Amino acid sequence: MGIMGFLRERMGVILVVIIGVALFAFIAGEVITYGRSFMGGGNDLGAVAGQTITYEEYNNRVKQGTEAFLQQSGQTSVTPQITDYIQENTWNQIISKAILQKEMDKVGVVVGADETQSLISGKNPSPQIAQYFTDPKTGQLNRTALNEVLSRYRTAKAGDPLVQQWDQLVTGIIEQKRAEKYFALLHNGLYVNSLDAKDDYEAKNKLAKFKYVELPYASVADNKVSVTDNDYQDYYNEHKYAFKNQQETRTLEYVTFNGAATKADSAAIRAQLDKLAPAFKTSTNDSLFVQVNAETKAPFVYQRKGQLEPVLDSVMFNAAPGFVYGPYASNGSFKIAKLVDSRVGPDSVKARHILLNPAKVGGVDKALAKADSIKKVIQGGKTFAEMAKNFSEDPQSAEKGGDLGTFGRGAMVPAFEEAAFNGKAGEFKIVTSQFGVHLIEIESQKGSSKVVKVATVDKPIAPSSKTQSAAYAQAQAFLGNLNKDNFTEQAKQQKLAVKTAPDVTGVASAIPGLDGVRELVRWAYKSEKGDIVDQVYTSGDQYVVARLAQVKEKGLLPLDVVKPQIKNEVLNYVKAKQLSSKLESAVNGASSIEQVAQKAGASAVPVENIVFANPVIPGLSLEMEVIGHVFGAPAKKVSKPIKGQHGVFVVQVDALTSPAPLTNPVREKQQIIQTLLQRADGQIFDALKDKANVKDNRAKFL
């Protein structure tokens, strides 16, 4: 593998995967919490552990991540969803790296020079070195390629991009090793003693047999319960731990006005295609016709059966050249398609090529002339492989003498494919593509099947300006009638569905049902609860009018914010008081669980083989309070009322059966420690980030 091939093809992956993901693989899936306390300094995107994060740093990393994604996926653009993912992943990497580096520096975790050398070129090099220098044919480390990179690095001149790129790779490897050492140090502090092993063993194997009487919350109708502000306050005070908000969010209420294409718009677009069809049929320059009239101006190539759209696949292979099909609807457009040509051609081609960069030789004309000269040299006796290694700008194929292997239709860009499939074995072809000028040698062709070349003219089914104007006018009129107090009332009067987008983050670019709403989200983070939007916002073909319904700051949420979401819990909280009172009366004077059941008008239900480690009552739900009481209660004694998840309970323990004595505490300890290790890294990092005072100002910039 050549050094420039390695660097050009792998650098994006190295930067993002190694320095980011691989370094912090220990904390995969952890989400960094964000704050909204804005720092001074107009260019500060955020801060962590006292370290400022600039917009330029973040933006450069996002660009690197985007380039890496495009390189790995083979796509030419990214969707808003992928952009969101890259932005969030980049932020998490920056935050994670800053937090861990500070802690590693604090405890003095280092990787020495000898260890670094071993990680790069020792007997057992870093997994990243192995990943990028392993020969795919042998599965072994290609030390020749690795040594070539190292040699070129040592002799590189100042300013050579190779130096910076290789240094970044090595830095990533070192940081990964430091992180491994840091977490190993923390893991060594985890300890499980024999008492822990015994408790865990009994929690899994000690069996409880008991009876219970339950008065379910559902037995009391909601309308029979009067819930006061004090009830809400009491419940809130008892459950404050559950109301800690890890990330600042906004909740929006909104209505939309549909500006999508109407039936009339669709009919008008179809009519345009109807008018074009006769001219398309008689056209003598189909390529020019498509360029002038089509929305999608892609070149057309020969395709085998199965590669066309299903509707065309069923007609074009039985038609004569010049046949025009359509208009037909497909993927949001109306289309007409013309069979330009059909022929029998090879199914696959084996070829090699030499790629020339016109920018390096003075333009396309000079690149074409140079390709012709190289062809003549090859025809004069020089090997294609030797010339490819000397001149080709495609590093991956150049290493293999220009060999591209065997490929089918659709694998190459159109100009390249046209030359390779329409030529003959042994021929040389010179073609120009978006990558440069190619000198192609067709080595062999295999198979034979009918292929067709189809030209397509498409017109998107888009709304007319009249349709859009009408929808926008409706939205504007609705907005004009709004104030902070009448949003719901006005929507109801106009029979508009009010939708809710709960807990929208500051960097969101989409909300339920709507994409591309960054401007709307930005507005929400500059506004106050109850505010109405300052303008009609657009999302695709929808016009949006919104109200900021709720602001949730980072930290402990106040009662008025969580009140709507805890309504059912508070209802049960109040019901529990009523049902507990009823069961207390039933327990009073009762000598058995059966007597309690009779007095309460319920049944005594027997349960057995319940373990503490799985606190579920069969047929009901997870009841930790109830099962916890069972394992701590004396036998044959009726308990006091216990407030559970499903209702209020009274229990009577019949027997607790202990398991056989633990004979292998070592094995039990190992199982516990493995469970602890699975959770440790995430919990450790949670503790670190809580102390790091993370500040996230991205809502102002993105």
Kindly report, residue by residue over 426-476, the tens digit of the pLDDT.
999 999 999 999 999 999 999 999 999 999 999 999 999 999 999 999 999
pLDDT, averaged across the chain: 88
Query: Cis bond leading into 634, ω under 30°?
Result: no
SS3 of residue 653 by DSSP: strand
Position 3 pLDDT exceeds 70: no
3-state secondary structure (DSSP) of residue 72: helix
Q: What is the mean predicted confidence (pLDDT) over 286-304?
A: 91
SS (H, E, C) 119-180: HHHCCCCCHHHHHHHECCCCCCECHHHHHHHHHHHHHCCCCCHHHHHHHHHHHHHHHHHHHH
Identity at 601, one-letter amino acid code: G
Rounded CA separation 231/237 (Å): 10
Task: Give 531's DSSP letter.
Answer: P
24 has pLDDT over 70: no
- Residue 46 to residue 508: CA distance in whole angstroms: 17
In this prediction, residue 18 has a pLDDT band, given cuts at 50, 70 and 90, of very low
What phi and psi values does residue 538 have, to the nearest 5 degrees?
Answer: -115, 135
pLDDT at 2: 38
CA 639/CA 649 separation, integer angstroms: 9
Bond before 327 cis per omega within 30 degrees: yes
Q: Using one digit for the tens of pLDDT, what is the confidence trace for 154-197?
A: 888 887 888 888 888 898 899 999 999 999 998 988 889 999 99
Give 303's Cβ-side CA count (13 Å radius).
Answer: 21
Helix (H, G, I), strand (E, B) or coil at 228: coil
Where on the phi/psi map is residue 643: left (φ > 0), alpha (ψ -120 to 50), or beta?
beta
HSE at residue 373, side-chain half, CA atoms within 13 A, is: 8
Spatial neighbors of 600 by CB under 8 A, at least 6 apart, are 213, 215, 582, 583, 586, 650
- Can you count the helices (H) and strands (E) in the chain? 26, 23
Reported as a single tens digit per residue, the pLDDT across 96-118 is 888 888 889 999 999 999 999 99
Are the beta carbons of 453 and 302 closer than 8 angstroms? yes
How many C-beta atoms surround the C-beta of residue 590 within 10 A?
Answer: 19
Q: For 108, what's the count of Cα atoms within 13 Å in the CB-facing half-sphere?
A: 0
- Show Cβ contacts of residue 192 under 8 Å, excluding neighbours closer than 6 positions: 669, 672, 673, 676
CB 90 within 8 A of CB 519: no
Task: Please say if the pLDDT value at position 668 is more than 50.
Answer: yes
Q: In one letter, which amino acid is 266?
A: S
For 320-366, what is each residue's pLDDT tens digit? 999 999 999 999 999 999 999 999 999 999 999 999 999 998 999 99
Q: What is the pLDDT of residue 43?
A: 62
Mean pLDDT value across residues 57-69? 87
Find, among 159, 167, 155, 160, the residue nearest to 15 by Cα.
Answer: 167
- By the 8 A CB rule, do 165 and 149 touch? no
279 pLDDT more than 90: yes
What the chain holds in terms of domains, given with CATH numbers, is: 3-187+693-701 (no CATH), 207-245+564-657 (no CATH), 249-260+466-552 (3.10.50), 263-344 (no CATH), 348-446 (3.10.50.40)
The whole-angstrom separation of Cα 426 and Cα 424 is 6
**Which one, of 539, 547, 541, 454, lies nearest residue 500 by Cα?**
547
Distance CA 84, CA 507 (A): 8
pLDDT of residue 155: 87
Mind listing the pLDDT tens digit for each residue in 374-387? 999 999 999 999 99
Which residues are 215's β-sheet partners?
Answer: 648
CA 646 to mean position of chain CA atoms: 36
**Cα–Cα distance measured from residue 73 to residue 273, given in angstroms and rounded to the nearest whole number:** 35
Q: What are phi and psi of 16, to 5 degrees?
A: -80, -50
Confidence of residue 502 (pLDDT cuts 50, 70, 90): very high
The model's pTM is: 0.67
The pLDDT value recorded for residue 489 is: 95
Helix or strand run (H / E) with residue 675: helix 665-691
| 3-state DSSP helix/strand/coil % of the chain, to nearest 5 | 50, 20, 30
DSSP 18: I
